[in-house]
Amino acid sequence: MVRCVGVRGVIVVACVLLASAFGFAFAQAPPSRAGAAQQPRVYANMLQVMRGVLYPASNVIFTAQSDDPAGFKPAVRPSTSSDPFTSAYGGWEAVENSGMALAESANLLIIPRVCGNGKPAPVQNADWQMWVQELRDAGMAVYKAGQAKNEDVVLQAADMLGTACLHCHAKYRNVPGGIPNRC
């Protein structure tokens, strides 16, 4: 935004014209790739997605099973708090946000990528697809639990989430031979 301050009418008029020119230039700029959808670009392996997105979001609902989200006091600097419950979007909103993160992260789990050991993730497998849907459903249940602000709803959502994680982990993570054989 162009900001001009002046006492003379000429300066004010010049500033208005300048601001209008900038606005017109931006309004007339053609889109760089009109109508073309961006293709997803993969940066992380499956282990990094799990540790960076799903693990922290899951821990919010697992914490809410035993600790009332409304009972957390905001951090000294809520805008930079690394604890979702004490951040600027803390309390029950942290549960809602974690639910959305879990539901959306299901989309990350169906994009072809490699596992932590470099092997391709089994994103095309029917069981993988089914368990990703369980995660998506669990994420939405977590979101609704945050909205409900009800301990029983939190426990049901946490159970759904734990079950979704367990199904996939039993086949793809907790395998004989450990890291070299898992995704």
Residue ranges per structural domain of the chain: 1-25, 46-181
Residue 74 is predicted with a pLDDT of 95
Residue 116: CB partners within 8 Å, gap ≥ 6?
A: 45, 46, 47, 48, 179, 182, 183
List pLDDT tens digits, range 106-130: 999 999 999 999 999 999 999 999 9
pTM: 0.77
Residue 62 is predicted with a pLDDT of 97
Nearest CA-CA partner of 141 in 129, 155, 128: 155
CA distance 125 to 42: 19
Q: What is the CATH number of domain 46-181?
A: 1.20.120
**Contact of 58 with 165, CB cutoff 8 Å:** yes
Residue 15 is predicted with a pLDDT of 37
List pLDDT tens digits, range 38-75: 888 999 999 999 999 999 999 999 999 999 999 999 99
Enumerate helices (H) and strands (E) in the chain, giving the number of each. 6, 0
Between residues 22 and 53, the one the model is more confident about: 53
List pLDDT tens digits, range 145-155: 999 999 999 99
Q: Both tokens of residue 116? A: 């932590």
Tell me the backbone φ, ψ of residue 122, rounded to 5 degrees. -80, 50
